[in-house]
Structure 1
Amino acid sequence: MEAPEELLQTLTRVSSALRDGEVPFALTGGCAIYARGGPASEHDVDVLVRPQDVEVAQQAMENRGMSTVEPPEDWLVKAFDGDRLVDIIHRPNEYPVTDAVLKEAEELRVGPASVPVMPATHLLVDKLLVLGPHRCDMSQLLPTARALREQIDWDAVRRDTEHSPYAEAFLLLVERLGITEIRIQEAAEDPERGKEPN
C-alpha cells in the first residue's frame, strides 16, 4: 500500500516552504512512520517546529498559497493545502520542541522529497502518549510496532511512557506477541556476516 500521491505532494510543498523560510523542522506522525517503513498515512502531514518559529512557519505556508488557522488547542497550528491538512506542532504531549529534539531527526527520502524524519522510538512514544480513556484503539498501533520494531529502543519507550497505564498495556501486548524481540539470531550464529572481504 502506497501513501496517497496527493499527500506526498503536500509534504513536498511543506518541506520546500519551511526550508525557504529557514524554519528548522522535522517530520513526525503518520508520514514519518511511512518514511521509516511503516503503514502508509492517509490522513495528514505532521511537522515539528520550535515554539519561536511558529509564526514564521505560518507565513512560509501562506507564501506557498496555503491557508492557516489557529485551533482551540494551544500546542499546534493548522494549515491547509487545498483540502489536505498540515499540523504544525510546537508542543506535542506537553513538551516543547527544542533544537535537541529536532537534532534527533534523520534525513530520509519520502516520495519526491528529502526531509528530516524523527526516529521510530520518538514516533511510537508520541502515539502511545495520546492513548486515553476516550482514545484507546491499539489496533492502529500494532502494524506500526511490527514494521518498525528493529528501529525502536524499547527500553526508552518504557521509560518515556511509564506514567501512562494505557502505554503500559500496549507494551505488555507487544511483549506477549513477541514484537519486541529483535531478530539477531542469524548474526549471532554467523560471526562472519557483515565483514569486509579480504
Structure 2
Amino acid sequence: MIAGQLVTAAHGAVVAAEEELPNPLLPETYDIVWSLFIVVVLGFVFLKYALPKIQAVLDERTEKIEGGLALAESAQAEAQAALAEYQQQLQDARTEAARIREEARNEGGAIVAESRTRAQAEAARIVENAQRQIEAERQQASVSLRAEVGTLATELASKIVGESLEDEARRSRVVDRFLDDLEATTAAGAADAGKGN
C-alpha cells in the first residue's frame, strides 16, 4: 500500500509539474497579440503601397503582352497576305509559262509547216527544171540522132539504091520515113511487151 501511495504521490507530483510548465507548442497570449498586430500593419502597408505598384507593373506587362500579340497577329496577317500574293504571282507565272510554251509550240508547228511547204516547192521546182533539162537534152539527142541517122541512112540508101541522095528534100523524106518506121516498131514492141504482162 505504501508503494501504491508512493506511486500515486509521484503521479500527482508529475501532473502538478506538468500543469505549471507551459506547453511548448502553444505560444503565450502576448506573443499572439503582437504577432497579429505586426501582420495587420504589414498587411496594411502591403495593400496601401506595394500592391498598387505590383498591380501597375502587372498591368503594364499585360499591355505589352497584348500589344505584342496584336503585332504578332498583324504580322501573321501580313505574312498570310504576302503568301497569298506570292501564290497568285506563282500561279500567274505558271499560266504565262504555259501560254508561252503553247505559243512556241504553235510557232514551231507553223515554222515546220512553212519549211515543209518551201521544201516541197523547191523540190517541185528542181523536178520541173530537171524534167525541162531532160526534155531539152532528149530533143537535142533526138535532133542529133536524126541528123546522124539521116546521114547514115542516106549513105546506106545511096549504096543500096546506087544513086546519089544528096538532094536535101529527098534525103529528109527518106530519113523521116525511116525514123517513123523505127518509132512505130519500137512502140509496137513496147505495146506487145505490156500485153504480155
TM-score range, shorter chain: under 0.3
Structure 1 or 2: more helix by fraction: 2
Q: TM-score, normalised by structure 2?
A: 0.15
Structure 1 or 2: more strand by fraction: 1
Higher CA-based Rg: 2
Q: More relative contact order in 1 or in 2 (CA 8 Å, sep 6+)? A: 1
